[in-house]
Amino acid sequence: MLRARDYRAVFDDVQFRAGNRHFLMLATPSTRGPDQAARIGLIIARRHVRRAVDRNRLKRLIRESFRHRREILAGLDIVILARPGAGQVDNEQVFNHLDRLWQKLVKQAAVDSS
């Protein structure tokens, strides 16, 4: 997602939520339609992840994880927020945390669409 109004649409109408100690995912069905590709928006605040290298590393890892799950998340607009301490988590743990959170979102979306 690129525009503030895209982020605002998710924040104003959160229908699915998944979180843990390090990340929070908020999602809503896409305004572009259920058959459209999933989109993500990242909010990695400096107050939660101090160093720029850590913020950039998290963004790269989140995008990579998202690329692998994009098809099963179709029709969702997702905003991912980093929580305090996310910058200290190693790469493997980041992928593990994200995998669990993607699964939670998919379950919630499947239950909602039935």
Burial of 8 (0-12, 13-18, 19+ CB in 10 A): exposed
DSSP strand pairing (39-43 vs 76-82): parallel
Specify the 3-state DSSP secondary structure of 59. Answer: helix
Domains of the chain (ranges, CATH numbers): 4-106 (3.30.230.10)
pLDDT in tens, 21-56: 999 999 998 877 667 888 999 999 999 999 999 999
Burial of 53 (0-12, 13-18, 19+ CB in 10 A): exposed
Tokens of 49: 């992840």
Tell which residue, 21, 90, 83, has the closest CA to residue 49: 83
Residue 84 DSSP class = T
pLDDT in tens, 51-106: 999 999 999 999 999 999 988 888 899 999 999 999 999 999 999 999 999 999 99
